[in-house]
Structure 1
C-alpha cells in the first residue's frame, strides 16, 4: 500500500492519532480458543504470508530470510516502473528484477501495471499513452523467457478512487479496453482485478456484470482490506461476492486480497494473527501485507537494517505450519490459526488478541497418547523499528490428555502480542526434522490441488500438464529443510493413469536437470512410489518436479504428485 497521506485524505482510513493497540475486548481474560484437530479447513498453503512491495531487490530481504516465512505470493510494480512510493527517491523492485529472489523463496507474484506511473494517485496521460505502456510492459514480460513466477496482470489499483473517470471514461469500459490489449499480446497469463480499495457490493456487481457481458472476466478476484479491525467484515465480503457470482452464472474465481491490514495496526502482531485467521478460515487463495512504509522490508517484518521484528516471529510460526489447516473457534477477541502435521504429530497454533489469562483447548488428540508435550512462546507488541531477536518461551510442560482433549493455559497475555502453542506427543514429534512434504503444501504452478481419499493427508496435485513456455510451464516446488549436507533418498508418491511410463524433470537449488520415471499405476489418484537420490545442503533447499520448466525439454506423458519423503 503506499502513498499514505493522499490515500488517507480520500478514504479516511485513519481517524487521527495512531492507535496503540487493537480496540479492547468486552472480556479481556478468561477466554478460550478452541482447536479441532480432526476438522480440516484446507491444506496448508500459508495464505496470509504475502506482501505488496515486500521484496525490494534480489537480496532485500535475502532468500535465506524469506524461506522460513513460507511466502505464498507478492505484488510487485511493473517492469520499467517509475513509481516513487512512500517517499522513495528512486523506483525499486520491478517484478522482473526481483523474480529470481521470489522464485528461490518458493513464491509467485502479480504485476501491478499502473505502478508504471511515478506518482500516486496516478496521473492519467491519455489512452494512447496508457495502451503503449501496457504493450511495453507485456512485451518486457514475454521477453523474460526464464521467469516462471508471474501469476497475474493486475490491470489497475484502487479504481474506486484512482481511476480518472472524467478523462478516461468509466472504469468498467477501461477494464474491458485494457483487458483486450493484454489478451492481444498474451493469451496465457491470468488477469486479476478489479482491486478496489474498499469492498462494495454495487461496484462489484456492476464490474462483474460488465466483465461477463464483454468476455473480460478476471481469472482472480482482487480487492483490498485496509480498515482498522476490518477482519470482522471479511467473511461478509466473501459471502457477498460469492452470491454475485452465483446470481450472474459465473464460475467461482480464486480470491486474492493483495493489500491487507491498516496503517494504524500494521505493526501489531496480534492484528496480523487476526487477519491470517480469517483469511484462512473464509477462503482466500492468497493475501499480501499492505505497503504503508518502506519497500523491501516485507512490509515491516524486518527493520530497515534487515533485523526481525515481533511480527516476523508470528509469521515465522505460521510459516512453519505443514499438513492441514484445522478448525479454530475464537472467543471474544481471542483468535488464531492452527495446523496439524500428521506426519510428525505436531499441532501448531498461533494466536493473539486478548489480554490477561486465557487458554487454548485442543480437541482430537486421541492418537497422541495419554499425555502431550506443550510449549508456549510469545513475542511482544513492538512495532516495525524494534528488533526482536527471538521469541520468549513462557512454558514447556507435559499435560494429561482427557478424552482426546487438552486445555493449555496462556497466562499474562497482552492484547498486542502474538503467541504460539505447540503440541506433540509426550516424547516429542515422531521425527526430529520434517521428512514428509505434501505436494499440496508446496508452490504449485499451473496445476491444481485435488482431494482424494487415497492421498496422504487427503489431497494431491494434478493437472501438471503445461510445457509450452515460461507462462504455462507446470511444476511443483518443494521447500525442504534438512539437518546436514549429504545425499538423501527421496521417495516420490505419484499416480500415473496413462498406461505407459511418464516422466518429470527433477532439479534442485538451481542445478541441472535429471529425469524421474513414473511407471503406470492402477489409475489417476491411485498412488505408488518411486525413489531417487538428491544431494542437499544443510538448511533450506528448493526441489522442483516439472512437466515443463526453463532449460528442461519437457516431460513425457502425465503424472500426479502426492508427496515426497526424504530419508
Structure 2
C-alpha cells in the first residue's frame, strides 16, 4: 500500500512506513507525542553484558558541515562525530531552497580535524530534488569528474564511501535512464574503473522495503556489483528499526550474500530530530542492531550539525544528548526496554574508570532504570541524574539540568534508580560510579573506539575491553588508501603527557608507525616484536605535547606528510598520564 511519505527535504514522494500512534497530524504538521505506556516502565541495563565497542555510531549527520568551519570544531569534538554524508564535489544541490554548500572535499579538512569519516553523495552534483535526469553521457561525465576530483585532493584523507544515488525508489527516472539495477551497475563500474579501494554505499532507499531490496540485491549479486555498505533511511519512527535490521539480515542470508556493514544514512523526521527523548530511542536501537553508522536527517540550514547548534555555535538541548553519548567510553552494554515503542535507552561501561553511562527517554511519568552486573563498582555507588529538555532548534541550552546526586547501596550486584516525572520529549542521563570516586579525567582510550581508517576492528580476550585495531597495513603514499587511527582525547591542561601504547607485533622485527597530534609534526613510534598477533600486554611509551581540552592523536602506517611506517603493528589502546 502506498502512502504519503516524509522525505529528508520535505519533497512529495512515495511510501514510508505507516505513521504510528507516536506521530499525530495537526494543522501545523507532524507533532511527536508519547506512545501509550503503562506507568512505571523499567529499562534494564546489564553492565556485565557488553556487546560492542563504543564508537558513537549514531553521532553523524547528513550535510552536517558547511564550508568555512561551520559549526566550530569546539562544538563537534565533544560529540565524537563518527561520520557524515556530504554532497558531491562541485555540489549543485539546493536543499530546502538554500544555495549549494557543504562540498565534501571542501569540508574534509574540518571533518578530519574532528575525527569524522565522510560518505560522498554523488547525485547531489545536480541542483534539483528530486534529481532531474539529463542523459547517461552527462551522468557518467559527472561521475568521472567527481571521482577524479576526490583522487586529486590529497587533503581529503577521510573519505570512506561513495553513495552512488539517493532514494532511487522514487527519484530514479526509469523511463529516461532505464532500470535502476542497470544504472547502479553502470555507475558502480564507472567508479571502480578509477577508484578500486573506496567502499561503495547503497542503495540508500527512502525506507526499508524487503521486496525492493531483494530485487536490488539479486541483480547486484548477479552483476558482481554488491555495495560494500548497505544503507537505507529511517524517517518517521524508531519502532521499525529492530524489525528492519532483522529482516535485512535474513534476506541477505537467504540470497547467499556475506554480511554487509549497515548505514542508516538519514534518521528522524522533522517532528523527532530535535526531540531528545525520541532520539534516545533511535540511538538505542541503532546500537543494539549493530548499525555501523547513522546520520541525522537534514531538515535545516548548513553549518548547524543538523540543528545541534544555534546562534553562533551555542548548543541546543539535543546537543547535550550527543555530548552524553560522546562521553561514553569502553564498551556498549546491553539495555532491555519494556517494548519497542516506549521507554528506551543506551548505555556504556568504562571498566578502566569504573563509570557507567546511561541515556534514556521516550516515556513520561516515573520510570525505573535497573542496573545489574555492577558489583565491580564496589559496595556503594554515586548516581547523578541529569535531563535535557525539548526546546527546539532555535533555543540555546547552556547546560543540562542536574536533577539529583544520590548514593545507593549495591545489593547482589544491582541497584534500581527511579527517574521521577519524566517528560517523553526530554532525555535523561545517569552516571554511575564508585562512591569512593574515579580518576579526574579519562586516561585510557581504546583503539577500537577511535576513528579507524582503512583498518579493522577485531576482538581478543587479551585486549583491553576485549577489542583492538588490526590490519593497519597500507602505506602507499596515496591519501585514499593509507591506514591510520585517530583518537579524540580530552586533557585538563596544556603540557607534555606520557602516552603509553598497548600493541602487538608478530613480525619478528621492530615495526614503526607515525605519531602526530592535531595535524602537527610527525614523530616515529617503534614497536619491538611480541609473541603473537592478537595477543596483548606489551607497551611502549612516548612523550606527546597536547593542548588543554580536546586533541586528535593520529597513529599511522601511512598518512599525508608522513614518509610511512615499516612492518606491522596492532593497536590495543593509548593511555595518557
Could you tell me the TM-score, scaled by structure 2's length? 0.95
1:21 aligns with 2:35: no
1:31 aligns with 2:36: no
- Paired position in structure 2 for 1:446: 454
Say whether the 8 Å CA contact 2:7–2:206 is kept in structure 1.
no
1:66 aligns with 2:71: no
- Paired position in structure 2 for 1:351: 360
- TM-superposed CA distance for 1:18, in Å, is 3.3
Deviates more, 1:270-279 or 1:183-192: 183-192
**1:154-210 Cα shifts (integer Å, max 9, x gaps):** 000000000000100010000000111111111111110000001111111111111
Paired residues, number = 562
- Paired position in structure 2 for 1:557: 567
- Extract unaligned runs of 5+ from structure 1: none
- TM-superposed CA distance for 1:412, in Å, is 1.2
1:178 aligns with 2:187: yes
Q: Secondary structure at the match of 1:98?
A: helix
1:399 aligns with 2:408: yes
Q: Secondary structure at the match of 2:541?
A: strand
- Paired position in structure 2 for 1:216: 225
**1:482-518 Cα shifts (integer Å, max 9, x gaps):** 0000111010000001001000001111111111000
Q: What is the 5 A alignment of 1:165-564? A: 165-227=174-236, 229=237, 231-332=238-339, 333-429=342-438, 431-468=439-476, 469-527=478-536, 528-564=538-574
Say whether the 8 Å CA contact 1:2–1:85 is kept in structure 2.
no
Could you tell me the TM-score, scaled by structure 1's length? 0.97
Q: Secondary structure at the match of 1:394?
A: strand
- Extract unaligned runs of 5+ from structure 2: 1-5
- TM-superposed CA distance for 1:10, in Å, is 6.9
- TM-superposed CA distance for 1:369, in Å, is 1.3
Say whether the 8 Å CA contact 1:3–1:86 is kept in structure 2.
no
1:112 aligns with 2:121: yes
**1:205-242 Cα shifts (integer Å, max 9, x gaps):** 11111111111111100111112x2x221121112211
- TM-superposed CA distance for 1:250, in Å, is 1.4
Aligned-pair Cα RMSD in Å: 1.4
Say whether the 8 Å CA contact 1:2–1:86 is kept in structure 2.
no
- Paired position in structure 2 for 1:133: 142
- Paired position in structure 1 for 2:11: 6
- TM-superposed CA distance for 1:142, in Å, is 0.7
Deviates more, 1:191-200 or 1:13-22: 13-22
1:5/1:256 Cα in 2 relative to 1: closer, same or farther (>3 Å)?
closer
Q: Secondary structure at the match of 1:96?
A: helix
1:3/1:325 Cα in 2 relative to 1: closer, same or farther (>3 Å)?
closer
C-alpha separation between the residues in 1 aligned to 2:374 and 2:385? 18
- TM-superposed CA distance for 1:243, in Å, is 1.6
